[in-house]
């Protein structure tokens, strides 16, 4: 009996040692220094169906986010303007400019007229009640123009970049800080999310662990769209699950006014 008990105790001690080893190994392989890595939640195109759900979740979870809003959508109804006002009243929510017209989704035509692009952005500021310097995102373009960094959208060809670059420069010079994004939670055109929450979190882990180049090291700006968070698509549950999933993986959430590409 003594020998049996001793063996049983030895196996238990060995198992614990093995568990500790694998726990330490897992921590070493965790999305490297996840606690030092920051996710910036950004939402485009509101106010739309889904915007209220986003604000509900952000308030409940107490996380910062940026709502890049469209002037034409905001002035479409008193209810839409009320959503703008609600977002602006929330301390952790930054309301940004996403143009007045969203280029009417005709991007090449829109960016062919620099003065019209600037006027469109200024008009959105007036509708949304924003003042320079304004946090903004251009419609349909992944462009950064910040005090410490300038990048163009690599998804369009060089000829088009050459045509559009004056637009970016003049908009920035007019008092807009332009933000693109590092990764997107894609939707299918109707608003239905393409990736599951689990898949999206895995993609984010992979991007960090693969040491992919971000605009700013250890900072990931995530693009989403308000229409993804309608009740039709379980929007409240999905956004809550995303926030919980990222927290469980050790990521922190950042406030876009604190986004500094050099730190």
| Domain boundary assignment for the chain | 1-30, 32-258
Distance of alpha carbon 89 from alpha carbon 133, whole angstroms: 19
What does each C-alpha distance from 24 to 30, 177, 206 come to in angstroms? 10, 42, 20
Q: Does position 47 have pLDDT exceeding 70, yes or no?
A: yes
pLDDT of residue 12: 45
Question: What are 133-149's pLDDT values in tens digits?
Answer: 999 999 999 999 999 89
Structure confidence at residue 157 (pLDDT): 95
> What proportion of the chain, given as a percentage, has pLDDT over 70?
86
Residue 208, C-beta contacts closer than 8 angstroms, at least 6 positions apart: 31, 32, 34, 37, 218, 220
User: Can you give the pLDDT at residue 36?
Assistant: 81
Peptide bond into 133 cis (omega under 30): yes
Provide the pLDDT for residue 262.
77
The pLDDT value given to residue 216: 83
Kindly tell me if the per-residue pLDDT of 212 is higher than 80. Answer: no
The average pLDDT across 166-172 equals 98
Residue whose structure tokens are 């009640």: 129
Q: Which pLDDT does position 211 carry in this prediction?
A: 63
Instruction: Answer whether residue 183 shows pLDDT above 50.
Output: yes
CATH domain 32-258 topology: TIM Barrel (3.20.20)
């Amino acid at each position: 009996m003594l020998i049996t008990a001793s063996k049983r105790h030895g196996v238990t001690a060995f198992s614990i040692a093995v568990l500790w080893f694998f726990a330490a190994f897992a921590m070493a392989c965790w999305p490297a220094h996840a606690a030092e890595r920051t996710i910036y939640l950004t939402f485009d195109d509101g106010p739309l169906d889904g915007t209220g759900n986003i604000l509900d979740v952000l308030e409940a979870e107490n996380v910062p986010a940026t709502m890049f809003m469209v002037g034409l959508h905001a002035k479409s109804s008193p209810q839409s303007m009320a959503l703008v006002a609600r977002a602006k009243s929330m301390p952790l929510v930054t309301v940004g400019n996403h143009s007045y017209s969203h280029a009417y989704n005709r991007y090449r035509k829109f960016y062919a007229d620099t003065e019209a692009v600037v006027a469109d952005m200024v008009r959105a500021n007036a509708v949304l009640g924003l003042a320079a310097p304004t946090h903004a995102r251009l419609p349909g373009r992944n462009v950064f123009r910040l005090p410490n960094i300038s990048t163009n959208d690599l998804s369009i060809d060089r000829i088009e970049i050459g045509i559009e670059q004056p637009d970016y420069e003049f908009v920035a010079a007019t008092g807009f800080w332009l933000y693109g994004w590092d990764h997107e939670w894609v939707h299918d055109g109707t608003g239905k999310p393409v990736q599951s929450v689990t898949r999206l979190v895995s993609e984010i882990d992979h991007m960090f662990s693969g040491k992919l180049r971000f605009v700013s090291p250890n900072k990931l700006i995530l693009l989403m769209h308000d229409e993804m968070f309608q009740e039709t698509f379980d929007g409240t549950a999905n956004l809550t699950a995303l926030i919980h999933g990222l927290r469980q993986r050790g990521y922190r959430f950042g406030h876009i006014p604190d986004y500094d590409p050099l730190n």
